[in-house]
Structure 1
Amino acid sequence: MQFLRVQRASSRSDIFPKLVAMQKAVNARNFAIFRVSGAGMPNKRKMVCELDNWGVGAGEYSNALIQIYGEVLIHHIDVSVLPLAWGRAGHANAATLEDCYGLVLKLDEGDLPFAGIAFPVRLGAVGNGYVVFSGDKLTLSPDSVLESHVRSCHIMMDLLALDERRTVPAETLSEREIACLQLAGDGQISEEIAERLGLSVHTVNAYLGSATIKLDSVNRIQAIAKAIRLGYIH
């Protein structure tokens, strides 16, 4: 399988300008990232704000969003990856939402002081959440919705990778382990990797096995996915 080359963030400060660029693309005033915590415990799951630029009163905005739409967002991410949007009386973005019919689900108007759109991202037990953009006059189109959703996925992958970097073993991957993982991620089997690198099949499997252990993964596929998130391979 082939993967797109994506420059992973090395810190949360690298994520901020990406979000600002996305914010401008949909004519939003602010952004926020929420994660769904408590995976595997339906009665204990909740929305947690990870990052935002709402400024003064940010906590109030986050709490209001969670109070009004929290349960809907938590349920929605289990059943659909369509973005959710809502309007505000007098400043609704209904006109642009009509252009995105089929790509966006419209929520009932709540009592929030802003309109908004939430892009759901599902990355596994600890990677689920939403990238939210808010403002009085969001400008949405099918292209901007699709592009923003893809970028939202990359943003959440960056956050997950940054979290994992704090918990991975101190022992880093060797150049040979990285090379074998990269070729395996490109869809090559052990025999093809061995021929490409001039190694024996046994040695290739040994490198892949040691990399899997270092990445605290249960199999080669999981190791490849984790190596991508951590920026070892692309």
Structure 2
Amino acid sequence: MINFSADISSLILPDGRSVSEPIDSEDEIRRALERVSDAYGFRGFMVLAVPDVGCHSLAAQVLLTSWPLEFLRRYDSAGLFDGSPVIQRLRRSTIPFTYDAHLLARRRLDGKGDAAVGVFEQANMPRGVYLPVHDAAGNRAAIAFGGDRPTVSDDELQALNLWAGLLYSRLSELRTQRRRGPASLSRREIECLRWAAAGKTTVEMARILALSEYTVNHYLNRATRKLDSVNRVQTVAKAMRAGLIN
């Protein structure tokens, strides 16, 4: 299993910053993507599920985005989805690639090239990148960064691809945990977490609960695995956010 926190904290953005804080919510995923977007000179990001052939709307596939909502409305109103070279490429390939709205317009076979250019230009996002990603369950998606900066270099594309893979993996984990809900923790696990949140040591918890230190550690370690945490502090924080303890 990837140690997500260690991996993300070791990455440095072009502006010298990092994303070192624990990422335990979709809002924190959004902030991390916004930080990456800003650091690389883009105007925004978009996370979209790779659509099947029965889908005809870009907005319906968007999972998270900072791109203007007006962009999505204009894009779908113009009927640009079905003839999009980008969507077609995402369906058949997992290789990251750059985009230029003017160049892509020439590859459209539906006569909507000028309309597509207009939509991207109005949003000030004529150029950018698409980074195909997937999760452990095989769900496919892509993270796009768009703006009006020059075309990214090969080194930048590789770095952005790593950021995209890590952040989408975390987003998928969070959504899976949310679907499962907090009910998987046992009564004893919750009790141990509640005392840990109160600042009690393992020895003190064992005395309070009339358990051995080994058993207390067992419950805490099991809760840590269930909540997909890296340490006891993060486990307590996640349990509090989920309303398991207060």
Query: Normalising to structure 1: TM-score of the pair?
Result: 0.56
Which residues in structure 2 correspond to 1:81-100 (within 5 Å)? 82-89=95-102
Q: Who is 2:24 aligned against?
A: 10
CA contact (8 A) 1:8 1:158 kept: no
Alignment of 1:54 onto 2:55:
no
* Cα distance in 1 between the residues matched to 2:2 and 2:127: 38
**SS of residue in 1 equivalent to 2:180:** coil
Rate the CA distance shift 1:143–1:25 in 2: closer, same or farther, 3 A.
farther
* AA partner of residue 67 (structure 2): W
**SS of residue in 1 equivalent to 2:47:** strand
Alignment partner of 1:127 out of 139, 145, 156:
139
Query: Normalising to structure 2: TM-score of the pair?
Result: 0.53
* AA partner of residue 91 (structure 2): I
Structure (1/2) with the larger helix percentage: 2
* Cα distance in 2 between the residues matched to 1:149 and 1:53: 18
Alignment partner of 1:71 out of 79, 82, 88:
88
Higher-Rg structure is: 2
* Cα distance in 2 between the residues matched to 1:9 and 1:108: 41
* AA partner of residue 152 (structure 2): L
User: Percent of aligned positions with the same letter in both sequences?
Assistant: 16
Could you say which structure has the greater relative contact order, defined with CA pairs below 8 angstroms and 6 or more residues apart? 1
In structure 2, stretches of 5+ residues that fail to align are: 9-20, 118-125, 191-212, 236-246
CA contact (8 A) 1:127 1:156 kept: no
**SS of residue in 1 equivalent to 2:41:** coil
Deviations 1:55-104 (A, max 9, x none): 2232334773664022221111xxx3x21222133xx7xxxxxxxxxxxx
Q: How many residues align?
A: 176
Alignment of 1:25 onto 2:39:
yes
In structure 1, stretches of 5+ residues that fail to align are: 93-105, 176-197, 216-225
Alignment of 1:227 onto 2:241:
no
Q: Who is 1:140 aligned against?
A: 152
* Cα distance in 2 between the residues matched to 1:166 and 1:13: 14
